[in-house]
C-alpha cells in the first residue's frame, strides 16, 4: 500500500483527537482523545521509518509509548484527585484559574 494511505489515516486520527479534546467535556474522553493523537503521531513515525528504512522512527515510537504510559498514570491520578474534590470530571466545572 502506498505510504500516503497510512499518512492520511494518521492525519484523520490526529484531527479526530483534536476535535475530541476541543468538543468533549468529560475529562476521561479528552484523555482518550489525547491518546488517539499520540498514536496518530506514532503511525506517522513508523510509516516514515518504513519508507526510509530507518530504525530511528521505530525507536521513537517506543519512547512515545513509554512516556505516554507514564503520563497516563499521572493523568489518571490527577483525575481521581479532581473527582474526589469536585465530585465530577466535567472539565467545564474546572475553571478556578479564571483571571
Partner 1 sequence: MFLSETTSMDPLFLVVPLVVFLPLLGILVNWLFGKRLGEKAIGTIASLAVGGSFVVSLILLFALRTDPQGFSVPLMQWFTVGGLDISWSFRVDTLSVVMMLAVNLVGTLIHIYAIGYMHEDAIHQGDPTRYRRFFIFMNLFIIAMMILVSADNFLMLFVGWEGVGLCSYLLIGFWFDKGEGGIANAQAGKKAFITTRIGDFGLLIAIFLIFWAFGSLNFGDIFPRVGEVAANHPGLMLAITLFMLMGVTGKSAQIPLYVWLPDAMAGPTPVSALIHAATMVTAGVYLMTRSQALYLAAPAAQNVVMWVGAITALFAAIIAVAQFDIKKVLAYSTISQLGYMVAAVGLGAETAAMFHLVTHAFFKALLFLSSGSIILSLERAMEEGAQGSGSHATNIDPQDMRNMGGLRKKMPTTFWVYLVGALTLSGIAPLAGFFSKDEIIAAANNTNGIIFVVLVAAAFLTAFYMGRQILMVFFGKARTKAASLAKESAPLITVPLIILALLSIVGGAINFPGWLNLEHWLEHTIKVHESTFQLPVALISLSIALIAILIAWLIYGRKPLAESTSKDPLARSLGGVFTLVNQKFKVDELYHFLFIGPYEKLADFFAHPVDQGFIDGIANGLGNLASETGSWLRKLQNGFVRSYVLSIVAGIVIILIYLLVRV
| Span 33-52, contacts to partner 1 by CB under 8 A | none
CA distance 6 to 50: 11
69: three-class secondary structure by DSSP: helix
Q: Radius of gyration (Cα) for the chain, nearest Å?
A: 17
Q: Which of 9, 18, 64, 68 binds partner 1 (CB under 8 A)?
A: 18
Which string of DSSP letters, residue by residue, matches 19-58?
HHHHH--BHHHHHHHHHHHHHHHHHHHHHHHHHHT-SHHH
Minimum distance, C-beta of residue 91 to partner 1, in the bound complex (Å)? 6
98 near partner 1, judged by CB under 8 A: yes
Minimum distance, C-beta of residue 58 to partner 1, in the bound complex (Å)? 26
96 near partner 1, judged by CB under 8 A: yes
Q: Which of 7, 9, 21, 68 binds partner 1 (CB under 8 A)?
A: 21
Binding site for partner 1 (CB under 8 A): 18, 21-22, 91-92, 94-99
Amino acid at each position: 500500500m502506498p505510504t500516503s494511505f497510512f499518512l492520511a489515516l494518521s492525519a484523520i486520527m490526529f484531527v479526530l483527537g483534536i476535535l475530541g479534546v476541543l468538543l468533549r467535556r468529560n475529562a476521561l474522553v479528552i484523555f482518550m482523545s489525547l491518546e488517539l493523537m499520540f498514536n496518530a503521531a506514532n503511525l506517522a513515525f513508523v510509516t516514515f521509518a518504513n519508507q526510509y528504512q530507518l530504525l530511528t522512527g521505530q525507536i521513537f515510537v517506543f519512547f512515545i509509548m513509554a512516556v505516554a504510559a507514564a503520563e497516563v498514570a499521572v493523568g489518571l491520578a490527577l483525575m481521581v484527585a479532581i473527582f474526589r474534590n469536585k465530585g465530577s470530571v466535567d472539565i467545564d466545572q474546572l475553571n478556578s484559574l479564571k483571571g
